[in-house]
Amino acid sequence: MKLELPRFHSARVLVLGDIMLDRYWEGPTSRISPEAPVPVVKVEQITDRPGGAGNVALNLAALGTGSRLGGHCGDDEMADSLQAMLAGAGVECAFTRVAGCPTITKLRVISRHQQLIRLDFEEPAPELTDVRALAADLPRLLDGCQVLVLSDYAKGALARPEALIEVARARAVPVLVDPKGSDFARYRGATLLTPNLHELEAVVGPCRTESELVARAEQLMHELDLQALLVTRGEHGMTLLRPGREELHMPAVAREVYDVTGAGDTVIAVLAAAVAAGAELPQAVALANIAAGIVVGKLGTAAVSAPELRRAVLQDQGSERGALTLEQLQVAIADARARGERVVFTNGCFDIIHAGHVAYLEQARKLGDRLVVAVNSDESVRRLKGRGRPINPAERRMAVLAGLEAVDWVVCFAQDTPRELLQILRPDILVKGGDYPGKEGVVGWEIVEEYGGEVRVLGFVDDVSTTAIVNRILEDNAG
């Protein structure tokens, strides 16, 4: 499956659910307490992060997607901290602060990247189970949103979500649910549920085989009028199930797992952002799977940014290096710049790759962090070099260049000059090799300097050129 990031910034998602604060106390530990057999942690850092539905909204904002957050929390210092963090990240806070009801807070004590204990601060709040007021306000909250996410942490905000789903369905807004508990009937009519395997088995019973999983999921989707189920399966990846269609399995992509906290929030946020931006469900699931692999490599509740996801997609599809389309190259360069890397650009026919080319490209690569080589198309080479050229077609020339250690990305262009590419890509340094009296002989030099780039001229290795090689072959054959 070929993946491309949708236009996350064009989408807007409403998140409703349990809003809470994740608080972290971190520090070193080097001894056991004399009072009890427990480690003593010297707290050196205290960090607050939005949790629950707040973390879903924060993940959406990190992707560049507009997010609006509704629900309930306390009217206290923790709520002040939450609202400040969320608003600062670009989340529209539309939640209700309830006096006398403390904001749910999860305190985690961490040392050496390991969670030692979690302390939960929460009180039963029966009034939070009444969603009638929220349902009445839902048409206003949904205004401008393409997707509704229900982030259920079983804390009361979504104890009875039926009215919310009914309102969204009447407006043809997809409803994605991160469920909790063993009563999935509450989510009847939702578009998609994202249970983990344990949660699903608590509802449908043990699924000992893949066929049993599919059969029981099909039955559940039929009973609850669901359009899809996405079952997350930890180290075994995730499986998308849809009525009457073959299941789609995505293997896990995590390199290292430090902490699974908040991974479900990231999955449903990426799903919602992609669907809201117009992506098909299999594409959205594939992106969510890659995002999950990123977030479990972080410690604590975390969000995945759009540049992080783009880099991971490029790496997953082998586009971290090599021959790219212009669209892929634009994304790769944007990510390189986000990391503070300098992009070097050169161009040419590169018909027969020889020692002169290799030495020249190695010199060019040393001028920056990434080297882009733009290759003339076959038709362009023919116009520039005449009949009989190119010797090698563009795909072969690009393959050889992509295999060189000095080259990061190769792209093909159909014009006779790279002017259009330079205007689109805006490299930091334009490099050409040859006997130029100065930079003014380099095509496109004025374009690069106009936006503040640099132009450099490098020499070729003496007595080595494609034309010389071709002429020598012709002379040998003629002899």
Calculate what percentage of the chain has a pLDDT beyond 70.
88
Looking at residue 27, what is its pLDDT? 96
Tell whether the model's pLDDT for residue 459 goes beyond 80.
no
pLDDT digits (tens, 9 = 90+) for 206-215: 988 888 999 9
* Inter-residue contact 168 to 143 (CB < 8 Å): no
Looking at residue 1, what is its pLDDT? 61
What is the rounded average pLDDT for all residues in the chain? 87
Name the more confident of 251 and 39. Answer: 39
pLDDT band at 465 (very low <50, low <70, confident <90, very high): low
Average pLDDT over residues 224-245: 91
265 included as an active-site residue: yes
Name the more confident of 450 and 255. Answer: 450
* Inter-residue contact 168 to 142 (CB < 8 Å): yes
Average pLDDT over residues 300-319: 72
Looking at residue 263, what is its pLDDT? 81
Looking at residue 11, what is its pLDDT? 95
Q: Where are the domain boundaries for CATH 3.40.50.620 in the chain?
A: 322-478
The whole model's pTM is what? 0.70
Structure tokens at 188: 């009847």
Looking at residue 22, what is its pLDDT? 93
Looking at residue 320, what is its pLDDT? 62
For 361, counting Cβ atoms within 10 Å of its Cβ (0-12 exposed, 13-18 middle, 19+ buried), the class is buried
Report d(CA 119, CA 266) in Å as an integer: 23
* Inter-residue contact 324 to 292 (CB < 8 Å): no
pLDDT digits (tens, 9 = 90+) for 70-111: 988 889 999 999 999 999 999 999 988 888 889 999 999 999
Name the more confident of 383 and 313. Answer: 383
Contacts of 271 (CB under 8 A, 6+ apart): 176, 192, 194, 230, 284, 285, 287, 288
pLDDT band at 467 (very low <50, low <70, confident <90, very high): low
Q: Where are the domain boundaries for CATH 3.40.1190.20 in the chain?
A: 8-19+49-100+128-316
Tell whether the model's pLDDT for residue 476 goes beyond 70.
no
pLDDT band at 43 (very low <50, low <70, confident <90, very high): very high
CB atoms within 10 A of CB 391: 16
pLDDT digits (tens, 9 = 90+) for 116-145: 999 999 886 555 545 677 788 899 999 999
Name the more confident of 99 and 422. Answer: 422
Report d(CA 69, CA 19) in Å as an integer: 9
CB atoms within 10 A of CB 281: 19
Query: CA angle, corner 354, sides to 350 and 356, nearest 5?
Result: 95
Q: Tell me whether strands 104-111 and 114-121 are parallel, antiparallel or unpaired.
A: antiparallel
Q: What is the CATH number of domain 8-19+49-100+128-316?
A: 3.40.1190.20
Looking at residue 346, what is its pLDDT? 95
Tell whether the model's pLDDT for residue 255 goes beyond 50.
yes
Tell whether the model's pLDDT for residue 147 goes beyond 90.
yes
Average pLDDT over residues 266-282: 95
pLDDT digits (tens, 9 = 90+) for 320-340: 678 888 887 887 888 788 778
Name the more confident of 465 and 215. Answer: 215
Looking at residue 463, what is its pLDDT? 46
Match domain 322-478 to its CATH number in 3.40.50.880, 3.40.50.620, 3.40.50.300, 3.20.20.70: 3.40.50.620
- Which of 18, 178, 265, 335 is labelled catalytic? 265
